[in-house]
Amino acid sequence: MIKIDNLDQYRNPLITRYASKEMSFIFSDNFKFSTWRKLWVALAKAEQKLGIEISDEQIDEMMSHVHDIDYKMAKNIEKEVRHDVMAHVHTFGAQCPLAKPIIHLGATSAYVGDNTDIIQMREALVLIKKKLVNLMNEMASFALAYKKVPTLGFTHFQPAQLTTVGKRASMWLQDLYFDYLDLDYVLTNLKLRGVKGTTGTQASFLNLFEEDSQKVIELEKLVAREMEFDEAYDITGQTYPRKIDVKVTQVLSGIAQSMHKMTNDIRLLQHLKEIEEPFEKKQIGSSAMAYKRNPMRSERVAALSRFVVNISHNTEDTASTQWFERTLDDSANKRLTIPQGFLACDAILDIGINIFQGIIVNEEVITKHINEEFPFMITENIIMEAVKKGADRQVMHEIIRVLSMEAAEQVKRYGKQNDLIERMIASDAIKLTEDEIVEIIQPEKFIGRSHEQVEFFVNNKIKPILKKHSEWLGIKTVLKV
């Protein structure tokens, strides 16, 4: 029989290769089960305050054992009872003999399970928000630094009119700005599942407080306050509405969509040698082709982003197929989708920050590409200036059309440089001097309001966010691999 040890078992690469320790901790057993215990303490405190016979000694005993969880005992009990919450109730009770009779009093499993899920998502959203703000900060600096640097625009990945390096980056940044607004809304409106009982009616607590509805209302408020929430959801079944998971994962999906689009552009630009990811001194691009500098960071973002985008479909399916007050076909799915969605999103933001902290712009290559395509783009301006000096527009159009075809043939058939500008300067039929033509064709004159758009957007939309969260700024990311 083969002996299987830990190295022979599957290990999640989101933990071992990609996500941060901070995000991994939020979805760890220690965070989860210590939060269960904090919720039991919060319930006991609230019940005591509202008149239930619970002593300070019982609460103190529970508080002293919030973190020292006997996982072996819990595992063994769960094997017998096939119920994770009751396994931990018994384990907690074994450690807290005084408090054992009142642990989980009036509650259902969803009290600890669902409330902890909400708490984990809140903590994870805060961490995602922190990293998103740091990425926006790096990108805003980049956009401002290159706001006036002309570059070829592309439509259909075919050369188009000029834009600037910074303007293009501001398009990426605006997508993430939209994601920030969505994240902020969802996080601000996230509520605790609360103290609702088995089917959400609070019947058990109404019975506990001898039909005093006001005490049941106050109980939920006290628990929410103890867990640092302003309020709980007004209506639930046994679980909080699974639409909440949809809203959360759609935020993660939105970030992933933006990151995928941005890093796709970076990959294409690296192919053009205009922009490059950081490339470390001993980094290897290919095991066979020693010269290669692959955009592995952007490719990794693309791979993880597709994973995150597709995770949101799981929560949508789950929300649409729930039965009445609860069904358990959400549980196993949630154990996978919610943590892994956050872990992957955390990773892509770390990689994004890393990219922009070391991104390389090859301005000479950008200028070279402009010079190869730009002459065709400025022909209309040459025609207009010649007409201003008395030329016939239709005649000028035909002259420049012929010169353009000749120049294009040199480029396409013989692989030579685009010499249309030189041909126009040399043409006796075009009544413009060399200086006049050179003055007309300065790339900076063809970028429109690009730099003004960048300045306005960054100053009015991004900087207020950065100022609001200034204490978060300064993350330096080091990738595991």
Domain borders along the chain are 26-102, 109-149+162-194+238-359, 379-440
Reduced to 3 states (helix: H, G, I; strand: E, B; else coil), residue 235 is: coil
pLDDT digits (tens, 9 = 90+) for 321-343: 999 999 999 999 999 999 999 99
pLDDT tens-place string over residues 449-462 = 999 999 999 999 99
Q: What is the pLDDT of residues 16-60, one digit of tens each?
A: 999 999 999 999 999 999 999 999 999 999 999 999 999 999 999
If one looks up domain 26-102 in CATH, what number appears? 1.10.275.10
pTM beyond 0.75: the answer is yes
* Other Cβ atoms within 10 Å of 442 Cβ, number: 10
Known catalytic residue: 286?
Answer: yes
Which of the four pLDDT bands, split at 50, 70 and 90, describes residue 260?
very high
pLDDT for 478 = 81
Distance CA 177, CA 190 (A): 20
Tokens of 366: 């950008």
Q: What is the CATH number of domain 379-440?
A: 1.10.40.30
Nearest to 191 by CA among 218, 227, 238: 227
Residue 156 appears among annotated catalytic residues: yes
What does the pLDDT read at residue 121?
98
Domains 26-102 and 379-440 alike in fold: no
Region 304-325: mean pLDDT is 96
pLDDT tens digits, 72-114: 999 999 999 999 999 999 999 999 999 999 999 999 999 999 9
CATH number for the domain running over 109-149+162-194+238-359: 1.20.200.10
Residue 250, token pair as written in the block: 């759609």
- Quick one: pLDDT at residue 291? 47
pLDDT at 292 over 80: no
For residues 220 and 232, the answer to whether their CB atoms sit within 8 Å is: yes
Residue 378: predicted pLDDT: 83
**Catalytic hit among 286, 320, 331, 470:** 286
pLDDT value of residue 222: 98
Residue 392 half-sphere exposure toward CB, CA atoms < 13 A? 5
Lowest mean pLDDT among 131-135, 142-146, 293-297, 363-367: 293-297
Predicted pLDDT at 343: 98
